[in-house]
Structure 1
Amino acid sequence: MHPLVRTGAAVVAGLAVAVALTGCGSDSGKSDSDTGAADGPTSAPADGGDSGSAGDAAALDGTWAGMTDGKAVALSVTAGKAALVADAHVCSGEVKDMGKVMLALKCTDGDTARTMGAIASNDGRTIVVEWDAGGKDTLAKTEPGALPTGLPGLPTP
């Protein structure tokens, strides 16, 4: 039972950081002050291919959460900065445009499972992140300023 409590506490702490990162700014969906490298955020790639459904870096702003292999994953993105909590690992870094939108993270404990990931798809409600280490996370956008629901180990109101 103690591992569940520790995992739950780590998830809650990480989500608090994620909510704090996104709660400070407006989540109106459009921000001209983003430092993304896109030439024209209004001209999304039309011919798509692999990154066409992923959109631009600014489209990631917000808090995203989900479950991968039965474990909670939370991602928060604000103005090109990203924070991730997954399986008791806390990682932070940047959103980069490398021909496709990528997450470049460094984990505080040295974990490398989620340090470089490509946004495979983003429809505004759900994103899919494919990690170079082989994993894949499917995350849903959460309401601004609110913790996601349905994750194990989170206290219920």
Structure 2
Amino acid sequence: MTEPLRVLLIDDDPLDRLLADEAFSMLDDASMLITAESGQAALALLERPDTPLPDVVLLDINMPRMNGFEVLAALKQHPRFCTIPVVMLTTSANPEDVAQAYTLHASGYLIKSVRFQTSLKQVETFIDFWLKRRRSRLGVED
């Protein structure tokens, strides 16, 4: 069996974290979701030597104190975290936000759905994509 995809979700909204947790848990054991309620909490978690690095980060943009762009910049400037793919997960469809995310080297940009079934499909597609990417990076065929 393949090791589950380790996903770190950084989002200040408790309801969004709960919905993501629910969606990820409904999709068998293909992934393992870890959540952080702020950029500072996520960076502190990643800095701990006993924390396995995630395969991919899902990052909200609109957060207090340290917004998603600041977290993304911090991750990409850190020698240990700079290669972790970061996908922005946000309600913002603002083209300036999309451009800024990619300028800061985000690997993707997803707009949060307001419907749970659509969110579930987004999560399923997200997991499938990143599992395939990890397998291809490791030279493992499907």
The two structures share one fold, judged by TM-score above 0.5: no
The structure with the largest helix share of the pair is 2
TM-score by length of 2: 0.32
Larger radius of gyration: 1
